[in-house]
Amino acid sequence: MQFQNTLEYARELDAQDSISSYREEFIFPQHQGNNVIYFTGNSLGLQPKSARNYVDEIMTDWANLAVEGHFSAKKPWWDYHERFSGKLAKVVGAKPAEVTVMNTLTVNLHLLMVSFYRPEGRRYKIICEEKAFPSDQYMISSQVRFHGYDPKDAIVEIKRREGENNFRTQDILATIREVGEECALILIGGVNYYTGQVLAMEEITKSGHEIGAFVGWDLAHAAGNIELKLNHWNVDFAAWCSYKYMNSGPGNASGCFINEKYHNQKDIPRFEGWWGHNKERRFLMEPEFQPENGADAWQISNAPVLALAPYLASLEMFDKVGMPALIEKRNKLVAYLEFVLHEIDKEVDSNFEIITPKNQDERGTQLSVFLHGQGRALFNYLMKNGVITDWREPNVIRLAPAPFYCSFEDMYQFGQILKKGIQEKSV
């Protein structure tokens, strides 16, 4: 497609956008009376307008029904989490029974490692990526220490090649083969938070299974962003947060995937609680745990319905639009942003470097841009002029135009603000 860096052309693209109306379903922060240009859906998605209604419904039921809301509310609280499984399964490429919602992301990864990190004898090592998101680093290190191992010995980090920004699939596979039968678990971020690179999850999962390891994925930056086929890829487990591309609100609940092949295994290691007990017998208060069918067996406590309500509101929109339509717009939107960046670079000779892979199959919504010579002053300028974006040391801004609510006109206007910021800085 032959793009043009003009306002008229950007508006023409918006007019052709089949899901452009969903922009009106979100609340934007304001800057001088106008919507901000919002590039941080990879950190916190905007609030759906419908979220308040979903929360208010629970508040009203609580006021009118009190404890009876567990069973008599319009959406009874005791099985509120079950409303997520079918819709989320479509988002992550799973069967409904393989998906549940509970806790928060790192908590769930810890709980899942109880089941899937089982070091024994020579098989005790964990493969992860270098400079993983800090929470993952802390989690994996603490799990290793908990089992009595030294993280320096038990954790194997996949490295980028010298001078390169992204991982090479062949290097990841080579590391897996090299660790071999010493590997107990492979746990990697499916989309790298810093560069936005999408890893070859199917190929890596297959390679991990060939050496006898469990394979899990942190999908914080993947769920609601890229196409996922967790069941088809035979992934063992995965977890994701809901507050980034899935717009559920700050620090909100996490989704989990547990492959169906582990369901109904009563002897699988697992931290158990009341809400994972057989639903039909839960209120008989029996002393012996009987696991629920499917991923719900990993539930521990009753669902925090006030937190889940905004997630359900957003998920309803995902279900109506579907991931194929979101991905189609995402690809076009990111490609246009990339074009605008290159056009501005030509006009002001700013020497940008986009460190996110150019190959569409290796990226999602995010473009990470290295600002050679520009520094944080340019980032501050953008923020002061109505562009909400994200800074990562040493000199990178992350731009994540979420397709639900970002427009092609946003991409054009961002380019104009960026150009003006560079020009003013160079005067």
Q: At what angle do helices 323-348 and 7-16 cross, to 10 degrees?
A: 170
How many structural domains does the chain have?
2
351 has a pLDDT exceeding 80: no
In a domain, 45, yes or no: no
In a domain, 18, yes or no: yes
Pairing mode, strands 390-392 and 396-399: antiparallel
* Bridge partner residues of 397 (DSSP): 369, 391
Domain's final residue, options 300, 321, 342: 321
Average pLDDT estimate for 235-245:
98
Identify whether residues 92 and 17 lie together within a single domain: no
- Residue located via tokens 């995937």: 257
pLDDT of residue 228: 98
Q: How confident is the model at residue 376 (pLDDT cuts 50, 70, 90)?
A: confident
In a domain, 48, yes or no: no
Where b means 16+ CB within 10 Å and e means fewer, 33-72 reads eebbbbbbbbbbbbbbebbeebbebbeebeeebeeebbee
In a domain, 46, yes or no: no
Q: How many residues does the chain have?
A: 427
CATH at residue 202: 3.40.640.10
pLDDT of residue 394: 82
Identify whether residues 102 and 251 lie together within a single domain: yes
Identify whether residues 272 and 406 lie together within a single domain: no
427 has a pLDDT exceeding 50: no
69 has a pLDDT exceeding 50: yes
In a domain, 71, yes or no: yes
Average pLDDT estimate for 364-390:
91
pLDDT tens-place string over residues 140-198: 999 999 999 999 999 999 999 999 999 999 999 999 999 999 999 999 999 999 999 99
Identify whether residues 177 and 241 lie together within a single domain: yes
Identify whether residues 213 and 281 lie together within a single domain: yes
367 has a pLDDT exceeding 80: yes
pLDDT tens-place string over residues 15-24: 999 999 999 9
**Cα–Cα distance, 369 to 350 (Å, whole number):** 12
Identify whether residues 341 and 305 lie together within a single domain: no
- At 240, list the tokens: 């994701």
Identify whether residues 27 and 123 lie together within a single domain: no
Identify whether residues 132 and 272 lie together within a single domain: yes
Identify whether residues 335 and 290 lie together within a single domain: no
**Cα–Cα distance, 172 to 61 (Å, whole number):** 51
Range of the domain at 132: 53-321
Which of residues 389 and 395 earns the better pLDDT score?
Answer: 389
Domain's final residue, options 305, 321, 337: 321
User: ∠ CA(35), CA(345), CA(372), 5° rounding?
Assistant: 95
Identify whether residues 355 and 391 lie together within a single domain: yes
283 has a pLDDT exceeding 90: no
In a domain, 2, yes or no: no
Domain's final residue, options 268, 286, 321: 321
| Average pLDDT across the chain, whole number | 96
In a domain, 216, yes or no: yes
Identify whether residues 98 and 244 lie together within a single domain: yes
* DSSP for residue 291: B
Identify whether residues 74 and 102 lie together within a single domain: yes
Strand residues in 99-253 grouped as ranges (E): 99-102, 125-129, 155-158, 183-189, 214-218, 237-241
Which of residues 375 and 53 earns the better pLDDT score?
Answer: 53
In a domain, 1, yes or no: no
